[in-house]
A and B are shown apart, each in its own frame.
Chain A
Amino acid sequence: MFDIDKWQEILATIKKNKMRTFLTGFSVAWGIFMLMILLGSGNGLSNGVAANFMNDAVNVMWIWSGKTTVPDQGMKSGRAIQFHNEDQSLISKVSGVGISSGRYFLNTTRYSFGKESGEYTTITCQPELKQIENIIMIEGRFINQIDFIQNRKVIVLGVDIKSALFKDSTAIGEYVNVNGVPFKVIGICTKPLSTNTREGYMPVSTAQMIFAGSNKLHNLDLTINAKSLEESQAIEEQVRNVLARQYKFDPKDEGAIGLYNKLENYIQTMRIFQAIKIFIWIIGIGTLIAGIVGVSNIMLIVVKERTKEIGIRKAIGASPSSVIGLILLESIMITTIAGYIGLVLGTGLMEMINYFMIQNAGPVDNQSGTIFLNPTVDFNIAVYATLLLIVAGAIAGYIPAKRAASIKPIVALRDE
């Protein structure tokens, strides 16, 4: 396969028809170029959406209480459901449920420090929320278990509240008044991929004691350990059943409790991207096929033009397989080289776009709010594409090579 003569001959024919070879190669290069751009864009879109999901732990589930919409066990519809602290331990027993945090909603809360004040959202929670919502600490610490058990009056401020109330001075250790009650600042936090953090976090036990005086909860946040959509849905159903038994409502009643399963959404969205990816491959391969047909066409002409020469070769002892090898190798060479150029240009362009995105918005972690992230094609795809090219070249050369092999040497004897 790698003897000099064969290559010499292939180069000689290519040299004789530079323009034709270039145009043929161009169609293949274009096909691969488009495939790489499409795949890169698809990856970028998929990465962007995935990153948006990653704001919180992907496997997060939120449950909130509502009103029953169907009568059940002798009770009318329209009954309000109210969660309590015990519910959390009930749900924790469901297999597949990871960590969880109860939440109690406060109405408008006014924060003040010295002369500065403002209205902000207060999230009351347990230490686990940090993990569930991927809260990032800038300074100090998050609420811990002791804060929760001892109902300590501590608060973690979102970075925007801190800068509004404290400006440049240190906030940790100071006391902030929340609706007139002083809370000690223990940490400053932010959330991934968000531009403003205007929430304060305090232990749910403290909030219940000060603002509600009960063990009521509005919301349960938890993580689940599921690997597939089916597993995730099974856990969801179990959680619903446990709560239905506790509060005596129909498990199928969508109104009694609300349930948002992020994993389910994530998996479904990723499935859409999977489908988009398949679609991209189909389009890309379609473009490539156009290129292959072009190469095949050119090779047929090459064989036609070289009929006499192939006849001479056969007359002086060339076997059919050596003729087939010659044509196939030429075809593979054109597609592989041209395809590789397309591959390098396509991936190069996508890398360049990625480079400028990083230049403008910083590294991948900081590119918040974009739905286009890291639009590059990974190395495996490039390897597959190369293999695809070699196969494509072989397919393109197959018919011409067969035709060449069937040339009878007597044609060489005929005068033109």
Chain B
Amino acid sequence: MIRLNNIHKSYEMGSNSLHVLKGIDLTIEQGDFVSIMGSSGSGKSTLLNILGMLDNYDKGTYYLSGNLIANMSEKKAAKYRNEMVGFVFQSFNLISFKNAMENVALPLYYKGVPRKKRNQIAMEYLEKLGLKDWANHMPNELSGGQKQRVAIARALISQPKIILADEPTGALDTTTSYEVMEILKDINAAGITVIIVTHEHDIAAMTSQIIRLKDGIIHEVIRNGELKEFKKEYMKELETA
């Protein structure tokens, strides 16, 4: 599904060059539920941006569903993003002057789906996420959890293969965070690959695979079986902190 081979990325900061990713090799299969962890500056957001075709990489290769993702035109990148990837952001990023239904329907607008039909589909997705009664509310009339659910509905509506979530629970309280994670789990159960960036261990522990980045390289990969150990380690970290 996703194959990264020796990915490098650096940012020019004036005369300095900041080497953020220093050779990432990563394979994520269809239907995986992956979390990317790491301290700030470890390159986890940059990695997610590259996965989501929002940013270019300098060196290496990235295959998404067998397609080499490199040097694409803006137009083509936009098309790929629209077809293959759904994004969920920490700050929800809903468009403020559109109501919940219109926000959810927006990706279909860029796909060229007629207005009536896309609004109907948007309603179906809102219903799935239990927001049917809120369809005509503006984003500022919704709670954080509701906003994130609208954002998830928007990410799902174009039936993507991957959901990329950048700190999806970062702006939510614990209860709502768990609710959102339940939704993401359900989505994953339906066969969609879900990749989240988080710095919360309890959130990461709900995924089936944890990738820990450190200084631009993959420090360790913790899989299902090893999660118990990870939890122990995490407790230890909490104690020392």
The answer to whether A and B interact is: yes
Q: How distant is the Cα of A410 from the Cα of B49 in the complex, in angstroms?
A: 7
Other-chain contact of A12, B82, B90, B97 (Cβ < 8 Å): B97
Knowing A5-B115, A312-B93, A413-B89 touch, does A320 contact B54 (C-beta < 8 A)? no
Knowing A322-B110, A409-B54, A410-B55 touch, does A315 contact B87 (C-beta < 8 A)? yes
Interface status of A383 (Cβ within 8 A of chain B): no
Interface residues on B, range: 20 to 34
Other-chain contact of A410, B54, B106, B107, B109 (Cβ < 8 Å): B54
Q: Which residue of B lies closest to A16 (CB)?
A: B97
Other-chain contact of B107, A317, A321, A412 (Cβ < 8 Å): A317
**Interface set, chain B 67-126, CB cutoff 8 A to A:** 74-75, 78-79, 81-83, 87, 89-91, 93, 95-98, 106-107, 109-111, 115
**Interface set, chain A 12-29, CB cutoff 8 A to B:** 12-13, 16
Q: How distant is the Cα of A5 from the Cα of B78 in the complex, in angstroms?
A: 19
**Do the beta carbons of B54 and A316 come within 8 Å of each other?**
no
Interface status of B154 (Cβ within 8 A of chain A): yes
Interface status of B188 (Cβ within 8 A of chain A): no
**Interface set, chain B 194-226, CB cutoff 8 A to A:** none
Q: State how many residues of chain A have any CB contact under 8 Å with chain B.
A: 28
**Do the beta carbons of B55 and A317 come within 8 Å of each other?**
no
| B87 proximity list for chain A (CB < 8 A) | 315-316, 413
**Do the beta carbons of A412 and B78 come within 8 Å of each other?**
no
Q: How distant is the Cα of A4 from the Cα of B116 in the complex, in angstroms?
A: 11
| B107 proximity list for chain A (CB < 8 A) | 316-317
Q: Which residue of B lies closest to A321 (CB)?
A: B75
| B55 proximity list for chain A (CB < 8 A) | 408, 410
Interface status of A365 (Cβ within 8 A of chain B): no
Knowing A316-B81, A321-B75, A409-B54 touch, does A5 contact B166 (C-beta < 8 A)? no
Interface status of A308 (Cβ within 8 A of chain B): yes
| A322 proximity list for chain B (CB < 8 A) | 110
| B95 proximity list for chain A (CB < 8 A) | 309, 312-313
Q: How distant is the Cα of A169 from the Cα of B82 in the complex, in angstroms?
A: 96
Knowing A4-B115, A316-B87, A317-B111 touch, does A413 contact B81 (C-beta < 8 A)? no
Q: Which residue of A lies closest to B107 (CB)?
A: A316
Interface status of A181 (Cβ within 8 A of chain B): no
CB 8 Å contact bits of B4-18 with A (1 = contact, 0 = none):
000000000000000
Interface status of A318 (Cβ within 8 A of chain B): yes
CB 8 Å contact bits of B124-156 with A (1 = contact, 0 = none):
000000000000000000000000000000100
Q: How distant is the Cα of A322 from the Cα of B112 in the complex, in angstroms?
A: 12
Q: How distant is the Cα of A80 from the Cα of B89 in the complex, in angstroms?
A: 104
| B48 proximity list for chain A (CB < 8 A) | 413
**Do the beta carbons of B82 and A316 come within 8 Å of each other?**
yes
Residues of B within 8 A of A (CB): 45, 48-49, 52, 54-55, 74-75, 78-79, 81-83, 87, 89-91, 93, 95-98, 106-107, 109-111, 115, 154, 158, 166
Residues of A within 8 A of B (CB): 3-5, 9, 12-13, 16, 308-309, 312-322, 405, 408-410, 412-413, 415-416
7 pairs, A vs B, C-beta closer than 8 Å = A3-B115, A309-B96, A312-B95, A315-B87, A315-B93, A322-B110, A413-B54
7 closest Cβ pairs, A-B complex = A317-B82, A317-B110, A12-B97, A319-B78, A312-B93, A316-B107, A410-B54
